[in-house]
Chain A
Amino acid sequence: MEWMVWTVPTTIFFSTIAAMLAGMTMWEVVSPTVERKGFLPISTTRGDRLFIGLLSAGYIHLLVVGFTPLSIWLALGASVLWLLILMRWG
């Protein structure tokens, strides 16, 4: 795997994503998701909300990194908070 030029941060990143997908699969097996409507304008399943959360997390990071002097950890914190809010009330 040397040609893939892995680094510690990217390894953690992909492991987290993989763990999330595995966790969502387990959760789905234990208690299947019910499509519902929260504060988002569309009705969503659990997986939809995770996808929306991750996609918006990508944009939050790009905004912070590209156009503000703020730390990337702040972007990460905001993204995690946003993801939790989205999963619970979205």
Chain B
Amino acid sequence: MNKVYDNKAWWLILPMLVLVAFSAIIPLMTVVNYSVQDVFDANTRFFTGTEWFAQMLNDPTLQAALLRQFAFSMTVLAIEVPLGIGIALIMPKKGWQASVVLILVTLPLLIPWNVVGSIWQIFTRGDIGLMGWGLRELGYGYNITRSTVDAWGTIILMDVWHWTPLIALLCYSGLRSIPEAYYQAARIDRASKWSVFRYIQLPKLTNVLVIGVLLRFMHSFMIYAEPFVLTGGGPGSSTTFLSQSLTTMAIGQQDLGPSAAFSLIYFLIILLVSWVFYTAIMNMQKEKQEEGI
């Protein structure tokens, strides 16, 4: 039982660590320093302690933005994950059709965020946009600059269009890695399509789904360019998400102290949610292995 582990390979991550220190750790430390001070310039700064944190936590606009952010992230996850799995299941697995479908599915992923916003902004316009014009011709008074429901629906539709392919591609690669023998065994047992999905495909997809859900949660939780270009946060502030509130505060108003405190709260929320997702899904898997399934 006295197994000796050789941990020397850990030194290989040293260059990465240096890189991350410069790109993330040192800036994050600076943010922490800013969050407890009122900084005017290099020489004029005052220690404020926890004041910014108290102010940010009790700010009604930020609380509303946070709730909106959670509502948005949960909605897109609830739509994109099942839809992505579904698309992956019906994608052809062999021949030229497989290549064509793969390329078609991947296309939305190649478009930069602000371009996605612009595309949809034009697409939804009532005068020249196909969707806006079409809906209006059908008798629905569609207007994303005036109706909250329209704005939300369009942003969710845009996100689903842009990011479901990611889940679909991950699931597709997960499905491809299941050996044919599993399906043969299922056929011998005359398993239904549903049982094949429930007991063979879905368990094998767990790993890629963890990555998919985590990526999609983090992406959607910091969504910025798309709603900014599409609705500018409106109508009113009904589609102003957290990152946009933060940018307005930090860049627009140069309130570095409050924005630093707010960023740290934002960071803690993302850290907690990602950790809970990761632990929950990994733990489910471990229990399954212990039961011998």
B residues contacting the other copy or chain, number (CB 8 A) = 27
Question: Contacts A4-B30, A66-B54 hold; do A10 and B36 have CB atoms under 8 A apart?
Answer: yes
A residues contacting the other copy or chain, number (CB 8 A) = 21
Main secondary structure of the interface of B (DSSP, over half): helix
Q: Mark B35-66, 1 if CB is under 8 A from A, else 0.
A: 01101001001010110011011100000000
On whether the beta carbons of B37 and A62 are closer than 8 Å, the reply is no
B58 neighbours in A (Cβ, 8 Å): 66-67
A67 CA to B34 CA, complexed, in Å: 22
Q: Which of A4, A32, A55, A67 contacts B29 (CB 8 A)?
A: A4
The 7 listed contacts between A and B (C-beta, < 8 Å) are: A4-B26, A14-B29, A32-B5, A42-B283, A62-B268, A65-B57, A72-B50
On whether the beta carbons of B57 and A67 are closer than 8 Å, the reply is yes
Q: Which residue of B lies closest to A42 (CB)?
A: B283
A65 CA to B56 CA, complexed, in Å: 11
On whether the beta carbons of A65 and B50 are closer than 8 Å, the reply is yes
A72 neighbours in B (Cβ, 8 Å): 49-50
B26 neighbours in A (Cβ, 8 Å): 4
The smallest beta-carbon distance between A78 and chain B, in angstroms, is 15
A-contacting 9-mer, from B75-83, B106-114, B155-163, B271-279: B271-279
A66 CA to B265 CA, complexed, in Å: 11
Asked if B102 CB lies within 8 Å of chain A CBs, one says no
On whether the beta carbons of B275 and A55 are closer than 8 Å, the reply is yes
Q: Which of B37, B54, B268 contacts A58 (CB 8 A)?
A: B268
A65 CA to B29 CA, complexed, in Å: 20
Asked if A39 CB lies within 8 Å of chain B CBs, one says no
Asked if B33 CB lies within 8 Å of chain A CBs, one says yes
Q: Mark A13-57, 1 if CB is under 8 A from B, else 0.
A: 110000000000000000010000000001000000001000100
On whether the beta carbons of A5 and B271 are closer than 8 Å, the reply is no
